[in-house]
Chains A and B, each alone.
Chain A
């Protein structure tokens, strides 16, 4: 069965701090995809990043970076130099290759204070 666990439920930081959001996943598939979505107070779900199970290369995109480690089934997401506009609920999600649905974690609410 597929499952996504976001152990942190809420984090509060001060602007310019770096913050890492943890995500641990479970799947029996060898082909799967991992995502991070952001849900600001306005409610929409915004796609941030995607990684497939065959590519463990970690990357940086602007202020975002991610650390994908299959050995620990983790897909952590870091925001560098956080800004107030980063305040949102962040969801980690898993898609198994043979399925169309996304399975989301419970979400982590990030508050960035000025």
Chain B
């Protein structure tokens, strides 16, 4: 079965650079979520999109922006990278926008800022 695809799987950037993470949800899933998981930490919700509109927002820094495109894939743009942005970034998708729906997670993009 198709899963959530994230690219790249690994990314190394220098401080103050920009990074773009991509997420391709499971087909026919119209809701996408982004989470950030620091080393040894639990995943923290960043932002979500439903039908290409931002639907919920968590603790996402102003340096980060995201969008969902017409084909439902999503991109997380991160600018002025800081060492503390080093983390595993997960994208998840679900078939409907409602609480309690099982979210299917991708394998994550591991971002290292040096």
Contacts and interface: CB of A to CB of B under 8 A. Distances in A.
A47 B97 CA distance: 17
If over half of B's interface residues share one DSSP class (helix, strand or loop), that class is named, otherwise mixed; here it is strand
A78 B56 CA distance: 32
Interface string A72-113: 000000000000000000010001111111111111000000
Contacts, number: 65
Contacts of A107: 42
Contact of A101 (B33, B42, B50, B88): B33
26 contacts: A32-B100, A35-B102, A43-B88, A43-B108, A44-B106, A44-B107, A45-B43, A45-B92, A45-B105, A50-B102, A52-B100, A91-B43, A95-B100, A96-B99, A97-B99, A99-B56, A100-B31, A100-B56, A100-B99, A101-B33, A101-B48, A102-B43, A103-B45, A104-B42, A104-B43, A104-B44
